[in-house]
Structure 1
């Protein structure tokens, strides 16, 4: 358990840096094309890990043992991650990273109810309190002064907020599916990671082909490669953590990446309302930690 928690913390740091990097490095990129390009590089970066951990022969044996359940859970996870990434990137395109990140990373608020319904997990009073605190983070992230209900109205009318919440819901489904695939179905992490990264790219490939190609695509290849390294490292750490600890433990820790993104966005991009959003991120961390306890 301790090892899994430490790996989850590492994943949070990597993903937090990635959120900031996306906002800093890419402007006006079609979300589908950006994700497919970065994931393609991520597959290349992850190849040495794949060959070391499982090897081509081991992959063939593992794939031969796949049944309907394994195929379904990989497909569901890939579709949910693809949808979540599109929603998040579009939210990031129209909103500031320190506004979008705290909202989009309240994933554990949705993970726990899904686990209760699908896997029979029992909700404790502390977990209920955690849901309330994490939800309050959304309120604080939207607060600009004025009437108490103004943040709720803004969240309801803000495209960035709606997309961020949609992203959080989709990531929650993928987190539970990820846990089922890695623990209940015992799919090896070394095989799961490239299947997931490649699966997301395949899901988004038709949209990426139809998207308008930026004139700077060739010049952006080094930056896309750097993004792929973030994804390869983040997915490797994330899925290792999910193979060792329950989703309700791993998800809250990994989603503290919002704090990293908020701090970097406020300090390096000089985004406004930094103090308020830092409080929102802190509330999100407190809330999801209460859920995980």
Structure 2
């Protein structure tokens, strides 16, 4: 229930007024980054870099709500469309995927450059945010080369990250989750068709039946498009669980015990050694990126939104 609640709770999304930046990548592709800068922001102020999940983009409701709440508190917000997504669909030949930590690194450096245009500028106070697939990307970025993370990155938060992609794909393929899997597979196929329509140079799978499952899609398209033999090889390489022990900056992982896609067991200390600076926050309920609560001390029912605001700003909301 929590997984679908965010789609039925009434919400009005703010108009899009962000400034568009084009960030070039080392392989010739580019991605779109959208900046919302409050008038009161000054050099050295707080900055948030927000990443979206599977089949989403910068206008996904969660990211729009977070942008509105954070900018109202003076935070400069950058949302990025992963490769081939959103405003940058025509700018990329290669696909986004669960292990694209180098792309996040490029965004971080572009944001720092944007916030420090003058050498005398104070260093910004940056928080990184990732949700679902991009939560795994974020944790992989933080842990695979911790010595290279810019000092301006002060903290990070990952929500419902599938840190063990094999366990995640096996969970979503369970019969009780089949309706979700079919939905995501259809969305991926739709996106691939749309993307190939504007970029004829994208990887084109061999002719034959289209996949009906997420792992089938990754075997059919994602894995070969990014250089892996099959989906399982890709999942092992992209999973962030193995690098979490190396994370050096303060990081919060938020997940729910009733998440139908990301089994709670993958976060067990039997499988992962958490360093002191990585905090695991778990709730009994929340589903997959749901976390809708009864009206209480928070200004609205979006429990997750306000926890992110607290982490980024240091304020106490409730």
TM-score calculated relative to the size of structure 2: 0.25
Higher relative contact order (CA 8 A, sep 6+): 1
Question: Which is richer in strand?
Answer: 2
Question: Which is richer in helix?
Answer: 1
